[in-house]
Amino acid sequence: MEGKDCRNLVERSLPRSLILGHSFIRRMKVFLKNNAGNSLFNEHFDLKNSFLVKLIGSGGRTIERLMRYDLMATRATKPDILVVEIASNDLCDPLADPGILGETIIAFVDVLRHEIQHEFTVICQVIPRRNPPFPKYNQRVKKLNKCLWENVGRFQRGEIFAPSRA
């Protein structure tokens, strides 16, 4: 086996990671692609020979839109590690309940765990905004992150990625 055939065989045997979410992920993918010649940045996070990384992100994604539009791509990727960056758009709706939103995110990841049987889940916390869309937005962020922290323990292998605990 030579060239592309050999590379495809190696790529199929590498662990896969999917980073799934809203416009932050889309912008990160564009940034990494645009800076591919820079040795500090590349779309595989310098893991190309040991790990496959796929980024799926679209602007305005809410958890409901993620389930509706990105579920098939998530299933097709069959990641070993799933990273979910979602919920800041959901919290922009003043009527959305942070507790229910947190439970919905956990339920979504739980469904994926059973369907695609990935080995590890990372749920990124929502970061408070310096210029929130409305006055109580950051309080809602704190409630959502607290809900995620309390419920992530249901996973055998799951984490909340957070610069600091909410």
**How many C-alpha atoms does 53 have within 13 Å on its Cβ side?**
17
User: What does the alpha-carbon distance between residue 43 and residue 49 come to, in Å, rounded to a whole number?
Assistant: 13
Q: What is the DSSP letter of 86?
A: -
Question: Which is more confident, 29 or 163?
Answer: 29
Q: Which CATH number covers residue 71?
A: 3.40.50.1110
Residue 8 belongs to some domain of the structure = no
Q: Which residues of 17-30 are buried (b: 16+ CB within 10 A; e: fewer)?
A: bbbbbbebbbebbe
Q: Is the pLDDT of residue 166 over 80?
A: no
Q: How does residue 65 score in pLDDT terms, banded at 50, 70 and 90? A: very high
pLDDT at 133: 93
Residue 57 belongs to some domain of the structure = yes
Angle at 45 between CA 52 and CA 40, to 5 degrees: 155
C-beta separation of 66 from 86 below 8 A: yes
The pLDDT > 90 percentage for the chain reads: 37
Place of tokens 């990625």: 161
Number of domains in the chain: 1
Residue 56 belongs to some domain of the structure = yes
Residue 49 belongs to some domain of the structure = yes
Residue 1 belongs to some domain of the structure = no
Give the SS3 label for residue 160.
Answer: strand
pLDDT digits (tens, 9 = 90+) for 114-144: 888 888 888 888 999 999 999 999 999 999 9
Residue 166 belongs to some domain of the structure = no
Q: How does residue 57 score in pLDDT terms, banded at 50, 70 and 90? A: very high
For residue 121, what are the domain limits? 13-161
pLDDT digits (tens, 9 = 90+) for 83-104: 999 999 999 999 999 999 999 9
Residue 64 belongs to some domain of the structure = yes
